[in-house]
Amino acid sequence: MIAASARDVVMEFAGGDGPVRVLHGASLEVPAGGLTLLVGPSGCGKTTLLSVLSGTLAATAGEVEVMGERLSALDDAARVRLRRRRIGFIFQQYNLLPSLTAAENAAIPLVTAGMKLSEASRRAVPVLQRLGLGAHLDRLPRQLSGGQQQRVAIARALVHEPSLVVCDEPTAALDAKAGHTVMELLRSVAAAPDRAVLIVTHDSRIHGFADRIVEMEDGRVLGERPPPSRNDGYQGAVHD
């Protein structure tokens, strides 16, 4: 099953001297039940494609489908609803709310869906426990390490059981060991048959976790390349 797909997506940003084209007809399919890695040099348009694919940025041209819904056919409100129900987000900068505890941060997608914060936080507890944060439920983000914060962010991306989880450079701000842990967790998340995980990265150390690797360059998707043998993990970087 294809969780999300982009076909011939063109993205232009307004620039000083007219529009700047960042995506030149990029196409990509993200199948459920696996971890897809979108790789390429910095500035090639990976984040832009991820934003378009997750319905946070409207494409200039082309078709995007998420769980069978064509984004261009949805109005703003419907697109927000789709994000809220179907997509989990993990950012390079974690983007946790500094005054909420780990459990409360992880609970946010349930709260935006209308649940009370206390009830939602309770629901987030098992997710955090699975991610090894059972002892840190009531900590504020600033009391957690970078790796722990990213795991809270993962919990937040999973708490509402989305079909598609998108991650932008999830390991870029982490040291090798924390990055390894985070990738292990994301790979186990992707193992669920009805869930797709799409990770955008220029961190070649994490290629070993992928089920598929898709290469991008200059706003175009070049194609798939075979992942290195799966159990290499965090290549050559981890000694723990």
Partner 1 sequence: MIEIALRMLSGDRTKYLGLVSGIAFATLLIAQQASIFVSLMMRTANQVLDVREADLWVMDPRVRYVDEVEPLRDVDLARIRGVEGVEWAVPFYKGTAILRTREGLINQVSLVGVDDATLAGAPRKWVKGDLSALRRPNGIVLDLQGAQFIWPGEDVPLGRSAEINDVRVELTGIADVSPPFITFPIAYMRYSDAVRLLPPQRNVMSYVIVKAAAGTDPAELGARIAARTGLQALTWDAFAWRSVEYVLTRTGIPVNFGITVLLGILVGAAVTAQTFYLFVFENLRQFGALKAIGATNGQILAMVLAQAAVVGALGYGIGIGLCALFFEVTGGAAALEGFRLVPQVVGATGGVIALILVLSCLFSIRRVFVVDPAIVFRG
Ligand X SMILES: Nc1ncnc2c1ncn2[C@@H]1O[C@H](COP(=O)(O)OP(=O)(O)O)[C@@H](O)[C@H]1O
Which residues contact ligand X by CB under 6 A? 13, 20, 22, 40, 42-48
Least distance in angstroms from the C-beta of 186 to partner 1: 17
- When the beta carbons of 189 and 208 are compared against partner 1, the nearer one is 189
Decide whether 32 or 107 has the Cβ nearer to partner 1.
107
Residue 72 interacting partner from ligand X, Mg ion, partner 1, none (CB closer than 5 to 8 Å by kind): none
Which tokens go with 84?
């809220």
Among 26, 34, 44, 47, binds Mg ion (CB under 5 A): 47
- Partner from Mg ion, partner 1, ligand X, none contacting 43, C-beta within 5 to 8 A by type: ligand X
From the list 26, 67, 100, 199, which residue makes contact with partner 1 (rule: CB under 8 A)? 100
- Residues touching partner 1, count (CB under 8 A): 32
26 by Cβ neighbours in 10 Å (0-12 / 13-18 / 19+) ranks as buried
How many Cβ atoms are within 10 Å of 93's Cβ, its own excluded? 12
> What is the rounded distance in angstroms from the CA atom of residue 26 to the CA atom of residue 44?
11
The least distance separating partner 1 from the CB of residue 239, rounded to whole angstroms, comes to: 28
Q: Which does 186 bind (CB under 5 to 8 A by kind): Mg ion, ligand X, partner 1, none?
A: none
Min dist. Cβ of residue 71 to ligand X (A) = 18
- Closest distance between partner 1 and the C-beta of residue 114, in Å? 9
Who's near 159: CB < 8 A, 6+ residues apart? 106, 107, 109, 110, 120, 123, 124, 127
Q: Position of tokens 């070649």?
A: 204
- Distance, CA of 208 to chain centre: 17
Look up residue 220 and give its two tokens.
């175009």
Q: Considering the rule CB under 8 A, would residue 198 count as an interface residue with partner 1?
A: no
Q: Provide the binding-site residues for partner 1, judged by CB under 8 A.
A: 47, 50-51, 56-57, 77, 80-81, 83-85, 87, 89, 91-93, 95, 97-100, 104, 108-109, 111-113, 116-117, 140, 156, 168
